[in-house]
Amino acid sequence: MEDVQNRPDRRGIPIKKVGVSNLRYPIVVLDRARQKQQTVARVTMSVNLPHHFKGTHMSRFVEILNEHHGDMTMWTLPAILHKLKKRLNAQSAHLELIFPYFIERAAPVSGASALMDYECSFTGETDGGKDVFMLRVKTPVASLCPCSKEISDYGAHNQRGEVAIEVQCRPGEMIWIEEVVEIAEASASAPVYALLKRPDERHVTMQAYDNPAFVEDMVRNAALRLREDQRVVWFRVHAENFESIHNHNAFAMVEWEREG
């Protein structure tokens, strides 16, 4: 049968990215407590397309993904990207997997245990000269407004927020999803839990009151911890508060790259 994708194209326009998106696929990722965890990812895979090719072979994206679905880590992403380039005759390739990751959390006083879910993503890119892998973790947190605490006769307004940390490590190094969650929670006023009993609610409420933090504080707190980690060569921290007394959100973002 004729391969229509390989027909020449005479419009002279190269395509930076072409591929498949919103593909749901079961994967296995590394779990610090249990070695591996099964989850389901939304996958985006793409390559560049030179101006003289009419199209790419979409089926090959799924074929390559199927060869590696049992082990999706920073160690396997380069192999997938290189296969994409080779089989699709491309100079660059991109892969993104967005997935829920579950961590069993114990309440701070009662010890009641339940699973918390965190939205994570693996992103890999290669352009022929360099492979780049990034981990992104969104962590729900609680924050209490320092200004509200300072000016109020009693109490202070607080809200649930989200700290998204994207990090790139040195070649051969890795950072656990759980470590990124811990950094995000430590940067805020208090963690968020899936299950709390009354003694736990009291503890978390007072913890937040004792640790007020603006979104600016949260991104700076996280940035300090990440900069001290010698595995990390680049990061972006984005904090957002879902404001409880305003009809808008508040956010802050910081980005940093290690020199040398």
The string of pLDDT tens digits covering residues 188-221 is: 999 999 999 999 999 999 999 999 999 999 999 9
Residue 252 φ/ψ, nearest 5 degrees: -150, 155
Regarding whether 253 and 135 lie in a shared domain, the answer is: yes
Model confidence at 55: pLDDT above 60: no
Q: How confident is the model at residue 155 (pLDDT cuts 50, 70, 90)?
A: confident
pLDDT of residue 54: 57
Query: Quick check: is 107 in a domain?
Result: no
Q: Are 93 and 85 in contact (CB under 8 A)?
A: yes
Model confidence at 145: pLDDT above 60: yes
pLDDT of residue 50: 66
Residue with tokens 């939304």: 42
Widest distance between CA atoms in the chain? 79
Determine the Cα–Cα distance for residues 18 and 95; give it in Å rounded to an integer.
11
Give mean pLDDT, residues 105-118.
Answer: 96
| CA angle centred on 65, ends 37 and 237, rounded to 5° | 60
pLDDT-wise least confident of 10-24, 52-66, 95-109: 52-66
Determine the Cα–Cα distance for residues 58 and 254; give it in Å rounded to an integer.
37
Q: How confident is the model at residue 58 (pLDDT cuts 50, 70, 90)?
A: confident
Q: Are 116 and 130 in contact (CB under 8 A)?
A: no
Determine the Cα–Cα distance for residues 123 and 175; give it in Å rounded to an integer.
14
| C-alpha separations of 51 from 21, 45, 62, 88, 164 in Å | 22, 19, 24, 14, 37
Regarding whether 164 and 95 lie in a shared domain, the answer is: no
pLDDT-wise least confident of 39-53, 135-149, 154-168, 204-218: 39-53
Query: Quick check: is 112 in a domain?
Result: no
| CA angle centred on 64, ends 169 and 132, rounded to 5° | 20
Regarding whether 89 and 9 lie in a shared domain, the answer is: yes
Count: domains in the chain: 2
Find the domain containing 215 and state its range.
130-260
Regarding whether 181 and 90 lie in a shared domain, the answer is: no
Nearest to residue 146, comparing CAs of 157, 130, 132?
Answer: 157
Output the CA torsion 195→198→199→200 (10° steps): 30
Greater model confidence, 86 or 12: 86
Helix, strand and coil in the chain, % to nearest 5: 25, 40, 30
Query: Quick check: is 110 in a domain?
Result: no
Regarding whether 163 and 89 lie in a shared domain, the answer is: no
Regarding whether 150 and 31 lie in a shared domain, the answer is: no
Regarding whether 53 and 172 lie in a shared domain, the answer is: no
Return the CATH number at 47. 3.10.270.10
Regarding whether 137 and 227 lie in a shared domain, the answer is: yes
Nearest to residue 158, comparing CAs of 186, 181, 188?
Answer: 188
Determine the Cα–Cα distance for residues 258 and 235; give it in Å rounded to an integer.
9
Q: Are 205 and 139 in contact (CB under 8 A)?
A: no
Determine the Cα–Cα distance for residues 191 and 238; give it in Å rounded to an integer.
16
Determine the Cα–Cα distance for residues 112 and 198; give it in Å rounded to an integer.
11
% the chain with pLDDT above 90? 63
pLDDT of residue 243: 87
Regarding whether 256 and 152 lie in a shared domain, the answer is: yes
